[in-house]
Amino acid sequence: EKFLEEDGRRLFLLYVRPVINGKGNYYIESRTRNHRRTDVIIDFQGRQTVIELKIWRGNEYHLRGEEQLSEYLEYYRLEKGYMVSFNFNKKKQVGVHEVAVGDKILVEAVV
């Protein structure tokens, strides 16, 4: 059965909703003024967080995802953003690490 990014978003939001319940909001595919769409934006306790969700399709695709997230952070004037990669390779390295892209910090989680 094929796993889609939308499936990943649903799973991610199952975890996030109870955390932000009553103390914040989340927006799915929020459209920017330059007609780009972010995957998830969370407003929680006065802070805004941009999260990009990706299915692992190779390193080149992953690097484009990092650049895309960096551009969203620039648009929203944020220094730090988050990327969740759904990787179904048997030899994947799961975990969380930080990556610098220009002057932005990306916290990446591979699941």
CA distance 31 to 33: 7
The rounded percent of the chain whose pLDDT value lies above 70 is 98
Residue 1 is predicted with a pLDDT of 59
Domain boundaries, the chain: 5-110
Residue 7 is predicted with a pLDDT of 79
Side by side, the strands of the sheet bearing 24-28 are 24-28, 40-44, 47-55, 80-86, 104-110, 95-101
CA distance 108 to 103: 16
Mean pLDDT on 7-26: 84
Query: Is the confidence at residue 16, as pLDDT, over 80?
Result: yes
Q: Exposure pattern of 65-86 as b/e (b: 16+ CB <10 Å)?
A: bbebbbbbbeeeeeeebbbbbb
CATH architecture for residues 5-110: 3-Layer(aba) Sandwich (3.40)
| pLDDT tens-digit readout, 58-111 | 889 889 999 999 999 999 999 999 999 988 888 888 899 999 999 999 999 988
